[in-house]
Amino acid sequence: MFDLKNGLKAVRVISPVAIGTTGTGQVGKIVDRKGYIGPVLFAVEYGTVTATTAVYTTIVKEGDVTGTMTSVADVDLIGTEAGAGVGATGTRVSGTSKNCVKTIGYKGGKRYCNITVKSTTTATTPIAATAFLDPASKPAA
């Protein structure tokens, strides 16, 4: 049986922080996939979003070296960048458009990847992101 707790490595990519300035957002730490197999799962945690017009978008990037990261092709994503974000809505609903966790996976072949979260408004909404990696050798259950 696969031991999920000890079988995955969690890496903090964006420490809990306010999303910040319009269009800038928060750039996640680069994840090094060396020694890991399979896709990387990014979990993006959103706190209380108050502005109904605010849109939070995610961008996943990849690279063979850390200095030349480029946007990932949709075919190398599990899910969509839009689906990992939070859209504008007339009323914010906890668990869907505020106080929620959205996920996106990266299955491309590059060694490095990361995620950026941006907002269409300057906001104090807290966000955070964690990457989950699958080690090449797994501990027994």
Can you give the CATH number for the domain in which 58 is found? 2.60.120
* Rounded mean pLDDT, 45-69: 93
Q: Check pLDDT > 60 for residue 140.
A: no
Mean pLDDT rounded to a whole number for the chain: 90
What is the structure's pLDDT at 24?
84
- Top pLDDT among 7 and 79 is at 79
Domain count, the chain: 1
d(CA 45, CA 10): 14
d(CA 133, CA 141): 18
Residue 93 token pair: 């609903």
- How many C-beta atoms lie closer than 10 Å to residue 25's C-beta? 21
Predicted confidence (pLDDT) per residue in 107-131, tens digit: 999 999 999 999 988 778 899 999 9
- What is the C-alpha R_g of the chain? 15
Q: Containing domain of residue 38, as a range?
A: 14-135
- Top pLDDT among 2 and 3 is at 3
* Rounded mean pLDDT, 33-51: 92
Asked, for residue 2, whether it belongs to a domain, the answer is: no
pTM of the model: 0.91
Q: Check pLDDT > 80 for residue 99.
A: yes
Q: Check pLDDT > 90 for residue 103.
A: yes
* Rounded mean pLDDT, 9-35: 91
Quick one: 31 exposed, middle or buried, by C-beta within 10 A (0-12, 13-18, 19+)?
buried
Asked, for residue 60, whether it belongs to a domain, the answer is: yes
What is the structure's pLDDT at 93?
92
d(CA 46, CA 134): 24
What is the structure's pLDDT at 139?
55
Asked, for residue 4, whether it belongs to a domain, the answer is: no
Residue with the two structure tokens 């190398």: 76
Nearest to 114 by CA among 7, 5, 25, 2: 25
CA–CA distances in Å: residue 51 to residues 28, 69, 98, 124: 23, 31, 10, 10
Asked, for residue 116, whether it belongs to a domain, the answer is: yes
What is the structure's pLDDT at 21?
78
